[in-house]
Chains A and B, each alone.
Chain A
Amino acid sequence: MQPAQNLPEEYDLPAPVRRKRFLERAPVRRSLPWLVVVGMFVFWELFVRAFSIQQFVLPAPSAIFAALWQWRWLILDNSWQTLMTTLVGFGLAIVVGGLGGIALGSSALVYESFYPALIGFNSVPKVAVIPILIIWFGIGTIPAIITAFLLAFFPILVNVATGIATVEPELRDVLRALGASRRQVIMKVGLPRSMPYFFASLKIAMTVAFVGSIVAETVAANKGIGYLMLVASSRFEVPLAFAGLIVTGVMGVGMYAISAGIERRMTGWATRSSDMSLPT
């Protein structure tokens, strides 16, 4: 039961040594994702050159990066627009999805009444809603924000609701037997418990928010990466269109990394490391 502090000297062994293979070393492992990306581009470049594929069909990475550099200010301006649009939509999704999830998860009545309607709502392809948004708000930023929001809020809502609704009955009894109000049960147990679900959903919501804003921009905007790609391909500036894709990918990975970082800090308890546990 007690920690092994005062063992006799003969038990005083050095720390376990295990030789790590080359691929298991930390610096190597950290560079592996980069190697994969670089390797992909090299393969792409060789592929395009070997079969002498026309630039307007599939541009080589070298041409794409050249276009990226040539149009850097234009791309920066437009990707900033897309990033802001996505973040606003995503922020709205967090607020609405979070509050909705709390309401849905903490009351069986609310859950039963609203869930079928929400499923139906979520089944509607959001792209089909964009023309309606144009009628209401005109061409511009607002349809893109709303599309990003519509795609992103559902996963957040479902996950927060699940986290709160699946509180162990014993735990609820413990708190209720102490005179806890419903609000207290949610604040002390439900919300902290739903945090891992919430952060898992953020990673999904983040990426679909990008999808939403970019798709809306190709249809109903005069700025943004989606708009830029549409214009570029209509002018057969295919390397520029591909540059837009790459910038989108980079933004997606960046936002994902940020949410994953916050997740690790906030809910370290949910990812139990085996190194820390004691034998039972």
Chain B
Amino acid sequence: MNFVELDQVSLKYNEDPSSLALYKTSFSVPRGEFVAVVGPSGCGKSTLMKVVTGLWPVTAGSVKVDNRVVEGPLSIVGMAFQNASLLPWRTALDNVMLPLEVAEPHASKLKSERAAYEQKARELLAMVGLKGFEGRHPWELSGGMQQRTQICRALIHQPSLLMLDEPFGSLDMFTREELWLALQDLWMARRPTVILVTHDLREAAFLADRVLVMSARPGRIILDRRVPTPRPRKLESAYSADTVALIAELREHINAARAKPS
């Protein structure tokens, strides 16, 4: 059963024809699947995020999440971005707790069940290796630690849809690989539907069940490729011959898309 379904979605930010970011984009993601979206820069990947989460209305076509047409911001989504965008006046733990103060049904239960929720947040932080750092403020954490915190924040309210917009883009390679494994663990433990937008083809090939390649602006899906590597994947698989071949194939399509904008 499809959890996210885009049908012939077009999006124009304003009257200007050059603001056309998506044109007749269609794809669907079954419940619990991990999908990565790659493409040349400026191809409308981030627009795709806004459309799926209902933060921006589509100009034509329809977006369905969980079999309902998206008409406004969805409250079942967890989001993470390239910048950790943590609140500097809150500790790591309080940053992770933020969604619980806003999203229902947690917000109304938070007062009476605070201890239980806090326990959950601590467990989540421990899962990404941040045990002992709960009381630190964001500026006391390294970039990688801030990203881990952000991912915990995106997951704490048990969203059924996780939207990741280049969450590891600003990190060094070793930290990135570490977080790939941490993200895979989190995903396998809870199985949310994930849409990951990234520039890093290896990241897409390592993490995703399916990789979608977008064309240059206005973005459309030009390739939909399944990644057969069995789970749980080990870091070595990111450098295996199969993955290298897959990356080469993805790169070829992206280069072709860059050469002649559709």
Where the two chains meet, the residues of A that have a C-beta atom closer than 8 Å to any C-beta of B are 1-3, 168, 170-171, 173-180, 184, 188-189, 192-193, 195, 267, 269-270, 272, 276-280
Q: How far is the CA of A188 from the CA of B102 in the complex (A)?
A: 9
Task: Flag if B85 contacts A174 (CB, 8 Å).
Answer: yes
Q: Tell which of A1, A2, A176, A270 touches B73, judged by Cβ atoms closer than 8 Å.
A: A176
Which single member of A171, A278, A279 contacts B87 (CB below 8 Å)?
A171
Which residues in A have their C-beta under 8 angstroms from that of B194? none
Residues of B close to A1: CB separation below 8 A: 129, 142, 144-145, 178
A3 in contact with B132 given A168-B85, A179-B104, A272-B139 (CB within 8 Å): yes
* Interface CB pairs A-B, < 8 A, 28: A2-B129, A2-B132, A3-B132, A168-B83, A170-B81, A171-B85, A171-B87, A174-B79, A174-B85, A176-B73, A177-B53, A177-B55, A177-B78, A177-B79, A178-B102, A178-B103, A179-B74, A180-B102, A188-B98, A188-B101, A189-B87, A195-B89, A267-B89, A276-B139, A277-B139, A278-B141, A280-B142, A280-B143
Which of chain A's residues have a CB closer than 8 A to the CB of B74? 177, 179
Verify if B140 is at the interface (C-beta below 8 Å from A): yes
In this assembly, does B32 line the interface, its C-beta being within 8 Å of a C-beta of chain A?
no
Those of B127-170 within 8 Å (CB) of chain A: 129, 132, 137, 139-145, 153, 157, 163
- As a 0/1 sequence over residues 70 to 92 of chain B, the CB contacts with chain A under 8 angstroms (1 = contact) are 00011101110101010111000
A179 and B88 in contact (CB under 8 A), knowing A1-B129, A1-B145, A280-B143? Answer: no
Report B-chain residues with C-beta under 8 Å of the C-beta of A272: 139
Chain A residue numbers with a CB within 8 Å of B145 are 1
In the complex, what residues of B have CB within 8 A of residue A189's CB? Answer: 87
Q: What are the residues of chain B within 8 A of A269 when measuring CB–CB?
A: 88-89, 137, 139
A100 to chain B, nearest CB (A): 23
Which chain A positions have C-beta within 8 A of B163?
177
Which B residues touch A277, using CB under 8 A? 139-140
Assess the A279–B142 pair: CB atoms within 8 A. yes
Among A2, A174, A180, A280, chain B packs the most CB atoms within 10 A around the CB of A174
Minimum CB distance partner of B143 in chain A: A280
- B139, A192: Cβ atoms closer than 8 Å: no
The chain B residue with its CB closest to the CB of A175 is B102
Residues of B within 8 A of A184 (CB): 102
Q: A173–B102 Cα gap in the complex (Å)?
A: 13
Cα distance A176–B163 in the bound complex, in angstroms:
14
Bound complex: CA A214 to CA B134 (Å): 50
With contacts A3-B132, A277-B140, A279-B142 taken as known, whether A177 is within 8 angstroms of B77 at the C-beta atoms is: yes
Contact A192 B89 (CB under 8 A): yes
The residue on A at minimum CB distance from B56 is A173
Q: In the bound complex, do residue B103 and residue A179 qualify as a contact, i.e. CB atoms below 8 Å apart?
A: yes
- Contact residues in B for A174 (Cβ distance below 8 Å): 79, 81, 85, 99, 153
Q: Which residues 89-125 in B have Cβ within 8 Å of A in the complex?
A: 89, 98-99, 101-104
Ranked nearest first, the 7 interchain pairs of A and B with the lowest CB-CB distance are A179-B75, A280-B142, A178-B103, A269-B89, A170-B85, A178-B102, A180-B102
